[in-house]
Structure 1
């Protein structure tokens, strides 16, 4: 998914330590024009920009496609990150410039590695009536950020116990492990709790964790700390906890449990690019504009007219690529 903001903030991800659990509330961002589907963004934000290597969390739906138009994200570029797509309802078609054409379906993860540069599109299918899911980004460490683009698909098995079920799409949890490769230690799982269920989960104490609440509500307990999280909230738990307790409310809860070791690197993130400096981000933007703008500076007519380059061409996608927004008129700088 592209960052749809017309004037996206520049963010340097380097967040200081937190004493105990806290709740991060989302802000709404329109994914396109006035009738567009809206997404709820909990990362990045002023108070926290990273949970492990997770650097971007968008949560959307359930949206009736007939009213919102669904998802229609034309080809756009990425660098220095991996995208993780997870659906609860609906279906999306993914195409990328590395030649991958895949369906995104509920309960199945699609992970795209941008590395040194890729472009892709995401469009909800014609028979999708309700669209509901999360789009997540993972920052790549400096040693891996220039890796070749790639793509993985995985349908994790459902594991269950009294009053709960889970699907582990990255890392390991509750006796289930994902084979999907990441460049830093990560955890990603969907957990569903019946009303009143209390689930105690053993976790890696070197990880920091985030609990994104899709529906319902719950208490998140780590050590002596406790927070109440409602739908669309992201509960943050700092490193040090060897066990998390998830205590579902009267409506039950469905959550995404995310985690990873503290990233330990400052990264400049602007629009769809992750870089290490102002100059890098400016160069990424210039390379994309060179591919997708005509000689007169106007967008090309369709994807077939796009020049090949750093980000490649999304074959078979009729939507014209998205030109980059205007850069801020100040130098992109670190914000700690």
Structure 2
């Protein structure tokens, strides 16, 4: 998925910044995406840029698209990151410059590793269903894997943990409670979809070396005593061995976590780099039609890169 902001500001991320357990609700921001989709952007935000290596989170829907085109995100580039597509309802057709063509459906993992350079598009396929609901996330690649070969993975069979008290957890990426996703990772992290039935009151085991955040997808969930409505992101900090969860209705949320990302990075538009030069070179390559390849089959023009800001982009710490 693309950041379609025509005037994107640099996101200054990475570096030290470990905290103990906290309960910090992060506000979302309404952002138009493509021709007909509006998303809630939860990372990066004014107070926090990353959770582990997770550096970008959009939550969209549930949207009634029965008489609409649905998601239409034209071809655009990525560098230095992985994209994670996760659906609760609907389907999204992925195309990329490697020739991949894959429809991603609910509770299936669409994972694209950009490495040095890749381009892709995403769209609701012809004859799509009436609803669209999901999340799109990015994972920053650590320095030693920034130039890894780009590739796309689709995993329809993911491990599911059942808590016995109304909790069911699908491990999207990384490892949780002894279950490991087949998706390729390049740093210690976890992403999981948690489904809770009404009245659930349980505790989920966590890794104290990870920092975590919870994103409420549907229903009302109490996370460590904080009651969250859909579309809210609760940053939880580090040092936790378990997470209390209580559901006041049938509900769902995403759990994101990982070891705090120690490198300083610059995230601008659809690129993650380490310097202004990295970003400038990537933008020039996309504008010139080099390095990223071409996406074939999308009915429409590719996205144009916005102008760089007037001053140099500088890496900074992971929180403001």
Q: Same fold (TM over 0.5)?
A: yes
In structure 1, what is the Cα distance between the partners aligned to 2:222 and 2:65? 32
In structure 1, what is the Cα distance between the partners aligned to 2:279 and 2:203? 42
Deviates more, 1:210-219 or 1:135-144: 210-219
- Provide the aligned C-alpha RMSD in A: 1.6
Whether contact under 8 Å (1:37, 1:68) holds in the other structure is no
- Matches for 1:109-128 after TM superposition, within 5 Å: 109-128=109-128
How far is 1:158 from its partner?
3.8
How far is 1:43 from its partner?
0.2
Residue in structure 1 matched with residue 33 of structure 2 by the alignment: 31
Instruction: Confirm whether residue 327 of structure 1 aligns to residue 308 of structure 2.
Output: yes
In structure 2, what is the Cα distance between the partners aligned to 1:180 and 1:17? 26
SS of the equivalent of 2:40 reads strand
Residue in structure 1 matched with residue 171 of structure 2 by the alignment: 168
In structure 1, what is the Cα distance between the partners aligned to 2:159 and 2:309? 45
SS of the equivalent of 1:137 reads strand
Whether contact under 8 Å (2:18, 2:260) holds in the other structure is no
In structure 1, what is the Cα distance between the partners aligned to 2:246 and 2:199? 7
Instruction: Confirm whether residue 13 of structure 1 aligns to residue 13 of structure 2.
Output: yes
Greater RCO between the two (CA within 8 Å, min separation 6)? Answer: 2
Whether contact under 8 Å (2:159, 2:180) holds in the other structure is no
SS of the equivalent of 1:172 reads strand
Write out the 4+ residue segments of structure 1 that deviate beyond 4 Å after TM superposition.
none
In structure 2, what is the Cα distance between the partners aligned to 1:266 and 1:171? 22
Whether contact under 8 Å (1:154, 1:169) holds in the other structure is no
Deviates more, 1:322-331 or 1:254-263: 322-331
How far is 1:334 from its partner?
3.5
How far is 1:217 from its partner?
1.9
SS of the equivalent of 1:151 reads strand
- Matches for 1:203-242 after TM superposition, within 5 Å: 203-221=206-224, 226-242=225-241
How far is 1:157 from its partner?
4.1
1:79-136 Cα shifts (integer Å, max 9, x gaps): 0000000000111110111121111100101100000000000011122221110000
1:217-246 Cα shifts (integer Å, max 9, x gaps): 22222xxxx433221011111111011111
In structure 1, what is the Cα distance between the partners aligned to 2:170 and 2:279? 36
- Matches for 1:1-336 after TM superposition, within 5 Å: 1-14=1-14, 16-19=17-20, 20-33=22-35, 36-66=36-66, 69-128=69-128, 129-155=130-156, 156-160=158-162, 161-221=164-224, 226-249=225-248, 251-291=249-289, 309-336=290-317
Runs of at least 5 residues in structure 2 that lack an aligned partner in the other structure: none
SS of the equivalent of 1:21 reads strand
TM-score scaled to structure 2, two decimals? 0.93
In structure 2, what is the Cα distance between the partners aligned to 1:22 and 1:327? 32
TM-score scaled to structure 1, two decimals? 0.89
In structure 1, what is the Cα distance between the partners aligned to 2:74 and 2:303? 6
How far is 1:335 from its partner?
4.6
Whether contact under 8 Å (1:37, 1:69) holds in the other structure is no
Q: How many residues align?
A: 312
In structure 2, what is the Cα distance between the partners aligned to 1:104 and 1:310? 26
